[in-house]
Amino acid sequence: MDEDQQKKRNSDEQVKFGTDGIRTTIGNDPLTTSSLIKLGAAIGKWVYETSTTKRVVLGHDTRYSNAFCKAALKTGLFQYPIILSDCGVIPTPILFHRTMKQDYDAGIMITASHNPAHDNGIKVFAKKIGKIGKNEESLILNHFNHNSNLPFYHQLGQEELLLDTLSWYTDLLTHQFKKDFLRNIRIAVDCAN
C-alpha cells in the first residue's frame, strides 16, 4: 500500500464517542478489525500513561460479534504492559461496579445495550469517575489518531480470567438489602436484546 492509500485509509477510520460510548453496526468504523486494534491500543496507551495499577477489567454481553470485537481490542490493548481481567458475559452494571470498587484503573464493556443485534459498541469506565468524560475521550481519540509507536514487545500486556464475577456481584447486592425485602411483590422483566 503506497503512502497516499495509507493516508486515505487512516482518514477513513473514525472513532466518535456518543452519549453512551461508541455504537455502530459491525463492519463500520470503528467496529472493523483495524480500527478495533487501533482503539484497543489507544485505550491501552491511555491506561498506561494515566493509571497507577495498569489494570483493566473487560466484559461483554451475548451479541454474536463480541468474540470478534474482544479479540481485536485485546490485540491493541496488549501492545502496552497492562493486566487485563476478562469477566466474560456479564451485565454492564457488574462491570461498572468491579471498575469502581476493585483494583482496576479502567473498565471496558462491549455492548450496544438496547440497539439491534447487528450493532455493537464499546463503553469505557475510569476508576474515579465512572463513565469517561470528554477529557478522557479526547485523550483516547488523540492516541487513536496519532499513535504510531511500536508495541512494547519486550513487555506485552497480560490477561487473567475472572470466574467469580457473578458471585461477587450477588454478594455486593445481597448486602445492600434486608432479607426477604421482595416478599409478596410481583416483578416484570423486559430483557430486550
Give the residue numbers annotated as catalytic, written as ranges.
113
Handedness of CA 105, 21, 35, 110 (dihedral sign): positive
Sequence-distant (6+) residues with CB within 8 A of 166 are: 90, 94
d(CA 152, CA 78) in angstroms, rounded, equals 9
Cα–Cα distances (Å) from 145 to 11, 55, 84, 95, 133, in that order, read 9, 23, 23, 27, 18
Cα–Cα dist 97/131, whole Å: 11
Q: Which of 60, 63, 68 is nearest to 30 (CA)?
A: 68
